[in-house]
């Protein structure tokens, strides 16, 4: 395989929502700790997250929602990050990930991204005319030695990984809450299927493990069979 083994790892509600609402002011990381019956078991998600791959792929939008554009510089970790971003991260956000990461790779099609003003030994840019997840993953493996990567992006990018058959495993932590809302981001967003032909090309999920966690949380782990 000329790309890393990918695992989609997400925290989701029972109805598949990965946000608490349709605006960037609402987010599970900030809102779940406030909900009685949800906050008590939330620590399990973050504990499992610490055991995921040493390469992590995120989106700039999600990280901007988490406030990295205004955060102080963090301590170095052994984790390497790949961030897909065109216009959500500012220079502070880029420097934040340089400080945090063993290796930091920005994937962008914006030639004017503020990242081009940053020079750090561990910082690299994959500049594409148009986003190609397949090519970006191949370069992460060939140029930066990425063999396995955990994907934690938004629903639209998750949908692209699925449609382009770039997911090998799915690892979900399910919180005991129903959120609803047709405009609230789900695990897989993007373009809807329009034909039986498209439906027939979907990968099949083979359940590898189902773990009942504390406080009514679940962990579901699947292999994706294409």
The whole-number pLDDT of residue 201 equals 76
**Per-residue pLDDT reduced to its tens digit, 157-192:** 999 999 999 999 999 999 999 999 999 999 999 888
The whole-number pLDDT of residue 132 equals 98
What gap in Å lies between CA 42 and CA 65, rounded to an integer? 19
Domain ranges (residues) in the chain: 5-225
Q: Does domain 5-225 have CATH number 3.40.430.10?
A: yes
The 10 Å Cβ neighbour count of residue 186 is 20
Tokens of 192: 């809807």
Instruction: Please answer whether residues 200 and 31 qualify as being in contact, where contact means their C-beta atoms are separated by less than 8 angstroms.
Output: no
Confidence of residue 75 (pLDDT cuts 50, 70, 90): very high
Instruction: Please answer whether residues 135 and 127 qualify as being in contact, where contact means their C-beta atoms are separated by less than 8 angstroms.
Output: no
Residue 197: pLDDT over 90: no
Angle at 109 (CA atoms; ends 140, 157), nearest 5 degrees: 65
């Amino acid at each position: 395989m000329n790309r890393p083994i990918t695992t989609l790892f997400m925290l989701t509600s029972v109805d598949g929502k990965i946000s608490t609402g349709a605006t960037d002011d609402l987010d599970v990381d900030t809102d779940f700790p406030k909900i009685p019956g949800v906050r008590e078991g939330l620590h399990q998600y973050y504990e499992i997250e610490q055991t995921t791959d040493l390469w992590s792929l995120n989106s700039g939008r999600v990280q901007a929602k988490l406030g990295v554009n205004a955060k102080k510089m963090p301590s170095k970790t052994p984790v390497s990050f790949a961030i897909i971003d065109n216009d959500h991260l500012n220079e502070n956000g880029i420097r934040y990930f340089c400080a945090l990461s063993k290796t930091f790779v920005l994937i962008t099609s914006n030639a004017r991204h503020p990242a081009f003003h940053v020079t750090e030994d561990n910082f690299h840019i994959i500049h594409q005319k148009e986003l190609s997840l397949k090519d970006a993953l191949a370069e992460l493996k060939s140029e930066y030695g990425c063999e396995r990567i955990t994907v934690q992006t938004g629903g639209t990018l998750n949908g692209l990984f699925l449609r382009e058959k770039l997911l090998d495993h799915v690892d979900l932590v399910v919180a005991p809450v129903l959120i609803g809302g047709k405009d609230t981001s789900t695990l897989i967003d993007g373009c809807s299927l329009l034909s039986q032909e498209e439906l027939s090309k979907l990968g099949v999920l083979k359940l590898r493990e189902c773990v009942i966690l504390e406080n009514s949380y679940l962990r579901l782990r699947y292999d994706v069979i294409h």
